[in-house]
Amino acid sequence: MQSDMPLLLRIESVGKTYQLGVQKVAALRHVNLNIEEGAFIAIAGPSGSGKSTLLNIIGLIDTPSTGRLLIDDCEVSGRSPDELAALRARTIGFVFQTFNLLPVLTAEENVEYPLLQFRELSRRERRERVAYYLDMVRLSHHARHRPNQLSGGQRQRVAIARALATHPRVVLADEPTANLDHRTGSRILRLMRQINRNHGTTFIFSTHDPRVLEIADRRVDLEDGMIARLGVRSGDEWTYAVDRAWSGEAPSTAAGRSRMDHESTFSKLSSMLGMPSEKK
Amino acid sequence: MLLSIALRNLLRQRTRSLLTLASIALGVASIMLANGFIDDVLWQLREATIRSQLGHLQVFAPGFLDEGRREPLSHTVADAQGAVARLQTIPGVATVARRLGFSGLLSNGRSDLAVIVEGIEPAAEAQIGTALTIASGKDLVTKDRNAITVGEGVAAALRLRVGDPVTLLASTKDGALNTLDARLSGVFRSPFKDYDARAIRISLADAQEVAGVDSVNTLVVLLQPDRSVDDALGAARDLLPSARYDVRPWTDLADFYQGVEALYRRQFLVLVMIVSVMVMLGVANSITMSLHERQGEFGTVRALGYRPDDVFAQIVTESVVLGSIAAAVGIALGVLLASGISAIGIEMPPPPNSDIGYTAKIRLSLSNVLIAAATAFIASVAGSIVPARRLARMPIVDALRHAI
């Protein structure tokens, strides 16, 4: 049984190797993953496990050494930098750990900046959209402030508004709470979860933060560049599967105490791994 | 928004932008001053050349410039009076003078000197030869007969003083020897030593009598100030058929001026190149430093969906803005300095082939200003291209490793 939501991303046997001097370092190895629209996924793992590399590949700002990535069933490998840029502009929103707001622009200009690429939007439409998303992140009254006049939490909210303003299919958030205090971080996470629920926007996090894992409905645990396990939330519990490429075995439910129907859980995990879901 | 962002980024790094701007502006000002100085030197040389000997245009019989030096009396201007009348109809012509030139031997009774004789119309020549000054005695006037003026060099060689009797010996057109007994009326000084060392002037009537001809071999046209030589040249050539007349602009006849101009222009070109390289290196250095600090920013811009060309355009736009402002500041600085220097004047020693020093100024023209501004502007934009290309093509993940 497959999930009801349509498949957004398909990652097939993706690997990434870096050349460090004479040594080759494998950052990712044989990663298979399916991500449906509306998912709220956390990619977890220790430093150097490949979280950021995987996020970068999904975000089309890095290319895999092997395997392929499909967005809406369209393969993205082999595309030119300009084609990838156009795809990024309309498909992907980024929320960075260090916010990455352009320092010379005000909050509203930062949100408007990616929209300038959309020729079909009039100035009025752009302004309306900017106002809408600044209102969504409750920063309308700080619209004319520059990043250095905003707190860390406010900056991250501007970054979220900027990421959402282009109506992306997926928002990628790389350690979005790492530079925020505990309370602000929690607020930011709640805001993103709320947007995910209300608007159906797909969120993928790369994180160490246990709070992200608390609110995510899926998790991908990476170790040494491979998927160690995949988890599906069931209430307060996780149901895990071990990746076949990691274990050399077919996926199976494991570890977590599941209150979900076993078949349904296996189906979701199989779907995430990009495998048929007939096997029980 | 591109321009606005560029301006804000420049203001964000005020000190660095100011230093870069200052170096470009100084480049603009230095090019303006150097070019303005050279323009003034050349302008003074041009005026001296035109207003001592050549006028703006000269008309000869065909072949005179090739063979006329050997047989000047055999290449006279046909219907000179009619040609003068036609030339005077050209708009902007101030005066047209007739000349008869040939070589002769001037004697003071004790020694001789080979000279170039110019038979002139004193009234017309007084308008043309404003750069030719009388060092002693007086200039020729229309009613003068058997009067002669000589260059300073001639006077010195023959030890002549005003009022001294002299004898001019010359060949007539038919080859016979003829003489003119005259009295030294005055000694002239032109900006050209070579000319003063060989030239003597007598009235056209005396020259025609000595040479045994009733014609002239040169018509000299002087234009009103600021009239176009090219326009007058075109009009003169339209009026005087080339089969009978050879009309030349003064530049064709001024070998010395051409040589000096070529030399100065080449020197100026080298200066422009040096300044351009300095500006380019300065801008490239400043931009490279700035871009190094802003890698994260451009990585973000790329991640947001902007293309490498957009990043390139953003960086180059910043250089365009900086170059434009610097060019404007440089022009203002150049004009200010030029005005100050011109007010004081630059005392110049006599140039080669001259005994007369002069006061140089900085002559500013629109083309001068445009050359200076364009040079600095292009150099500043060119200086940004390599670092901009490098950053625009940098892998996004590498750029994003740097914090904004």
The better pLDDT of the pair A277, A198 is held by: A198
The gap from C-alpha A92 to its chain's centroid, in whole angstroms, comes to 9
In tens, the pLDDT along A162-182 reads: 999 999 999 999 989 888 888
Distance CA A222, CA A207 (A): 11
**Cβ contacts (< 8 Å) between B303 and chain A: which residues?**
59, 61, 88, 94, 100
A61/B400 touch (CB, cutoff 8 Å), yes or no: yes
A96/B395 touch (CB, cutoff 8 Å), yes or no: no
- Which of B8, B295, B300 should we substitute to test contact with A (largest number of A Cβ atoms within 10 Å)? B300
Nearest CA in chain B to A109: B1
**Cβ contacts (< 8 Å) between B305 and chain A: which residues?**
85-86, 88-90, 92, 114, 117, 166
Q: What are phi and psi of A227, to 5 degrees?
A: -75, 115
Does residue A66 sit in helix, strand or coil? strand
In tens, the pLDDT along B228-245 reads: 999 999 999 999 999 999
- Nearest Cβ partner for A61 among B5, B303, B309: B303
B303/A94 touch (CB, cutoff 8 Å), yes or no: yes
A81/B400 touch (CB, cutoff 8 Å), yes or no: no
**Cβ contacts (< 8 Å) between A116 and chain B: which residues?**
1
Both tokens assigned to B65: 């410039």
A89/B397 touch (CB, cutoff 8 Å), yes or no: no
CA dihedral B349, B351, B354, B360 (to 10 degrees): -60
Residue A268: pLDDT band with limits 50, 70, 90? low
- The pLDDT, as a whole number, for residue A263 is 57
A102/B5 touch (CB, cutoff 8 Å), yes or no: yes
Distance CA B350, CA B45 (A): 11
- The pLDDT, as a whole number, for residue A257 is 40
Furthest CA-CA distance within chain A: 56
Mean pLDDT of each 10-residue bin along chain B, 404 residues long: 85 88 91 92 89 91 85 89 95 95 94 95 88 91 92 95 95 91 94 91 95 93 93 96 94 90 91 87 85 92 96 93 94 96 91 78 93 88 91 93 83
B3 touches A at CB < 8 Å: no
Sheet holding A23-36, edge to edge: A23-36, A7-20, A66-71, A74-75
Distance CA A80, CA B155 (A): 84
- The pLDDT, as a whole number, for residue B202 is 96
- Which of A17, A65, A96 should we substitute to test contact with B (largest number of B Cβ atoms within 10 Å)? A96
Nearest CA in chain A to B296: A100
Neighbours of B336 (CB within 10 A): 11
A62/B395 touch (CB, cutoff 8 Å), yes or no: yes
Q: What are phi and psi of A28, to 5 degrees?
A: -140, 145
Distance CA B96, CA A130 (A): 77
- Nearest Cβ partner for B308 among A81, A101, A113: A81
**Cβ contacts (< 8 Å) between B300 and chain A: which residues?**
94, 96, 100, 102
- The pLDDT, as a whole number, for residue B62 is 92
- Nearest Cβ partner for B397 among A61, A89, A100: A61
Does residue A210 sit in helix, strand or coil? helix
Residue A264: pLDDT band with limits 50, 70, 90? low
**Cβ contacts (< 8 Å) between B396 and chain A: which residues?**
56, 61-62
**Cβ contacts (< 8 Å) between A82 and chain B: which residues?**
307-309
DSSP output for B100-124: EEEEEEEE-SS-EEEEEEEEE-HHH
- The pLDDT, as a whole number, for residue B349 is 86
With a CB-CB cutoff of 8 Å, which residues 214-243 of chain B face chain A? none
With a CB-CB cutoff of 8 Å, which residues 93-112 of chain B face chain A? none
Distance CA A173, CA A100 (A): 12
- Nearest Cβ partner for A104 among B8, B309, B395: B8
Rounded to a whole number of angstroms, the distance from the CA of B2 to the nearest CA of chain A is: 10
- The pLDDT, as a whole number, for residue B376 is 84
- The pLDDT, as a whole number, for residue A109 is 96
Distance CA B372, CA B369 (A): 5
- Nearest Cβ partner for A100 among B5, B11, B404: B404
B22 touches A at CB < 8 Å: no
- The pLDDT, as a whole number, for residue B332 is 97
Total-model pTM: 0.74
Distance CA B152, CA B341 (A): 33
**Cβ contacts (< 8 Å) between A104 and chain B: which residues?**
5, 8-9, 11-12
Indicate the domain borders of chain B: 2-49+258-400, 62-244
DSSP output for A209-250: -HHHHHH-SEEEEEETTEEEEEEEEETTEEEEEE-HHHHSS-
- The pLDDT, as a whole number, for residue A1 is 36
In tens, the pLDDT along A193-250 reads: 998 999 899 999 999 888 999 999 999 999 999 999 999 988 888 888 876 554 444 4
Rounded to a whole number of angstroms, the distance from the CA of B234 to the nearest CA of chain A is: 55
Nearest CA in chain B to A100: B404
A86/B8 touch (CB, cutoff 8 Å), yes or no: no
- Nearest Cβ partner for B404 among A56, A98, A162: A98
B297 touches A at CB < 8 Å: yes
Neighbours of A190 (CB within 10 A): 12
- The pLDDT, as a whole number, for residue A181 is 86
Nearest CA in chain A to B305: A89
Please give the ipTM for the structure prediction: 0.88
Report the run of H or E that residue A187 belongs to, with start and end. Answer: helix A182-199
- Which of B298, B311, B400, B401 should we substitute to test contact with A (largest number of A Cβ atoms within 10 Å)? B400
In tens, the pLDDT along A10-23 reads: 999 999 999 888 88
The gap from C-alpha A180 to its chain's centroid, in whole angstroms, comes to 19
Residue A273: pLDDT band with limits 50, 70, 90? low
Q: In the block, which residue shows the tokens 């930011």?
A: A188
B277 touches A at CB < 8 Å: no
**Domains (ranges, CATH) in chain A?**
7-273 (3.40.50.300)
Distance CA A60, CA A80 (A): 11
B307/A81 touch (CB, cutoff 8 Å), yes or no: yes
For B165-187, letters b (16+ CB in 10 Å) and e give ebbbebbeeeeeeeebebebbbb
B294 touches A at CB < 8 Å: no
The better pLDDT of the pair A100, A280 is held by: A100
CB pairs under 8 A between A and B: 73
Nearest CA in chain B to A117: B306
**Cβ contacts (< 8 Å) between A96 and chain B: which residues?**
300, 400
